[in-house]
Structure 1
Amino acid sequence: MKTIIYRDNGGADVLELVDRETPKPAPGEVRVRLAVSGVNPTDWKTRSGATNPKQFAEVTPHLDGAGTIDAVGDGVAAGRVGQRVWVFMASAGRATGTAAECTVVPSELAVPLPDEASFDLGASLGVPAITAHRALTVAEDGPRRLRPGALDGTMVLVAGGAGAVGHAAIQLARWAGATVISTVSGPEKARLATAAGAHHTVNYREEGAAARIREIAPDGVDIVVEVALGANLALDLAVLRVRGTIATYANDGGEPVELDVRQNMMLNTRFQFLVLYTVGPEALAAGAEDVAAAVADGALPVGEEHGLPLIRFPLDRTADAHQAVENGAVGKVLVDIPG
C-alpha cells in the first residue's frame, strides 16, 4: 500500500510517499481502507517535534480519517467488514495514522458513518468534533453528555467560529439547544460562523465587543469555547457569568496568560484546559457517541455553504497539506487517498 511517512522530526519536507506492506489487524482491531484523511494542527506540530519527541523509527501521520472496514481482528464482529466509518486518534501512541491507503486501529476508534454522510464529513470529525464536545460538557452545572435539549437556556460563546473546532462547537451547541455567539475577526469569518449556525457574531477587534455580547447575554455567557486564551482572556472575563466556564483547547498567538486572582475568585471562574491525548477513554467514548448521534441527525455538515470550506490535496502532496494548516488555512484541510 502507499503511505506517507517521516523518519525524523522537522519541516513538512520530511514527509515522503513510500510503499509498505498492507497491515493486518491484531485482536480487537479493524483495518480501514481510507478514502479521506483529515489534517489537524496537532499533526504538523507532532511531525515538527514541537509537542512530543518522535516515538517510533518511522511514523505515518494523521489522527483522523474516513473509509471502509475491510478486515477485522479476533474478537471483532465479522459483520463490521464493509462498514463505512470515521476514524479518530489513529496515530495517538501508534506509528500508523491515516495518511495511507489503509490503517489499523482499535475497533472503538472506528465509528459507523451513515450512508448519507460523506467521507469528507467523516474525515472532518475526530479531533475537532470531540474537542468541541469536551469543551461543551465540562461546566460545573452543565450536562456531561450532549443531545437535543441538553443545553437549553445556555449561552455559549465560541471564539474563532470559523476554525474547525469552533465550527464543530457552534454546530454541537446549537444541536443541543444553546444560544450561540461567535467572536470573529471580520466579515468573512462572520459569514462562515453564521453559516455554521451561530445566532450572533461579534468582531472582537472592534471597540465595544464586550458590550455587544452583554446586550445578547445580559447575565453573561455560561461557557466560553476558547482557542486563544492569552489574547482573549480579558474579553472572556468581561462577559462570563458568575460560576461560568472557560474551556480552552489552544492558545493561538502564544500570548501569555495572566490571571487576576481576585477577579476570578469573585466570578468563581472555572477554567478547563483540555487536550484529547490525555482526556481519558471515558470522555473520548462519550464524545464519539454523541458526535455520531449529531451526525445521524444531520447536525454537523461541512463545506463552504455550512461554514467550513474544504481544502483538498492528493496523498502525494501531504507536505503541502501540512504547510497549509501550519500557515493558518481557513477551513478543513483534507487529503484524498487514491483508490
Structure 2
Amino acid sequence: MVAVDDAREGGASRPVRLEEAVGVLTAARQVVLLAHVNPDADALGSALALGLALHRRGTEVQVSFGAPERPAESLRDLDVDGLVVTADEVVAAPELLVVLDTGSVDRLGPLADRAATAGSTLVIDHHVSNSGFGTHYYVDPRAEATAVMVLHLLDAMEAPVDLPTARCLYAGLVTDTRNFRAASPDTHAMAARLLVAGVDAEAVTRPLLDTHPFSWLAMLSAVLATARLEAGEARGLGLVHALVEREHVDLGRQEEVESVIDVLRTTAEAEVAVVLKQVGERRWTANMRSKGGIDVAAAASALGGGGHRVASGFTLDGDAPAILDRVRRALADAPLLG
C-alpha cells in the first residue's frame, strides 16, 4: 500500500502509510465515518466494515453520508449494529473524521463542513483523482476498491473479519470490480477469504446487481429512448450518452438510476458511455465509463469531478446540450490509456 505524494504547497494535508493510518484510527475515542453522497456499496460497505471494527474496540462510532436521508435499499442490511445515522444526527465537531471512497471534500455534500470542524480528518480512498484533503490521507490508486484498503487496515489492527464485516467488504469488492471482471489475483484471493468467513455470494450480489422492481423497465425504456451514439467523438473511439430526467430521478430508487450506465456501456460501437442525471432544475450529475481506451478520470477532472481512469463522474449546472458539449471537449483532450 502506498500514499500519494503531498504536492500541495503549504497545505496541512499529508500522506500517511498503513501503520500510521492504523495509529490515527486506534487512538481516537470518537470517530465519524463518512461516505460520499449517494453512497455505493464500496463507500458505505467500507465505512461500515471499519466502523464495526472500531465499535467493537469500544470507540464511539457514527457512520453517515450527506444525501439521501437513508441508504439505498440494497445496502440497508449491511448495517447490523445500527451505526448509520442521518446527516442531521452527525456530531458537529468529531474528534476524528474518517472519509472513505471520496475523491474531494465537496463530494460530502452538506457534511463537507465536518472536514473543517473535526479535530483531525483521515481520508481513505483509491481514486487516482483524490485531492488529498483532510489532515491525513491514505490513498492507493492501485487498489480496485476502498474495501481492499479497509481489509488491509483491519488486518493491521488485528480486528476479526467476521461474517457481518466480510459481507460489507464483499459488497464493496463485487460492485467496484464489476463482479470481479476487473479484479487482480490478490483481490480474488481476498474475495475467497471473505467467502470462507461465511459470505453467501449470491445473497450479497443479487440485490446489488440483479434485482429491480418492475417499474424499472418503464424508466429504462424512457431513458434509453434518449440515447445517442456519436461514433466520431471520444477521440474517434465513440461516445454513447443518455439523459435521466428529473421525474425518473425523483421517482426511482437510487439503484435503478445508477444502473442505467451499466446498460449503456454495453454499446459495442462506443468506447465511452455517459449518463446525465437531472438532480435540480439546471443541475446534472454524470456517470462516465470507459472500456479502457480513454482516461475518463482526466475528463471528469476537467469538468470539476473525478474518479477512476475507467469510471468517473462530475456535477455541473446548465442545460444538458451545453454540458454534453463540454463532455465532448473534455474527452477530446483526455489521455489515451495503454
Q: TM-score range by the shorter chain?
A: 0.3 to 0.5
More strand as a share of residues: 1
TM-score (norm 1): 0.34
Q: Which has the higher helix share?
A: 2
Relative contact order (alpha carbons < 8 A, sep ≥ 6): 1 or 2 greater?
Answer: 1
